[in-house]
Amino acid sequence: MGGYIIYKNSSSAITIVPIKSECETLDVDRPSETTTTWLAVINGGVAGKFKAVHQGAIFSYLNYSNAKNENVMNFVQNDDAFDGNDCIWK
């Protein structure tokens, strides 16, 4: 199972494919913390990796590592950014 992302002002979607997922129970009364790594695929090649950490619907961490230059972009969840359909990260 995969998905896609679309950057603001972009005309095309980027395919993402999960490659690793780990769950850890931090508190029996709360959802498990899940860490998932996704490959970003463009034109059949790996462009980079996304890594996300969440506990239920709350994301505490999301970053992107570029495969070519290894630059890392960190994202911050904006709790007020839900537009009725999607959560918008900046």
Rounded Cα distance, 20 and 22, in Å: 7
Rounded Cα distance, 20 and 7, in Å: 23
Token look-up 């896609």 returns 4
| pLDDT one-digit tens code per residue, 8-61 | 788 899 999 999 999 999 889 999 999 999 999 999 999 999 999 999 888 888
pLDDT value of position 85: 73
Q: Are strands 33-42 and 14-24 parallel, antiparallel or unpaired?
A: antiparallel
The DSSP secondary-structure symbol of 64 reads E
pLDDT at 88 over 90: no
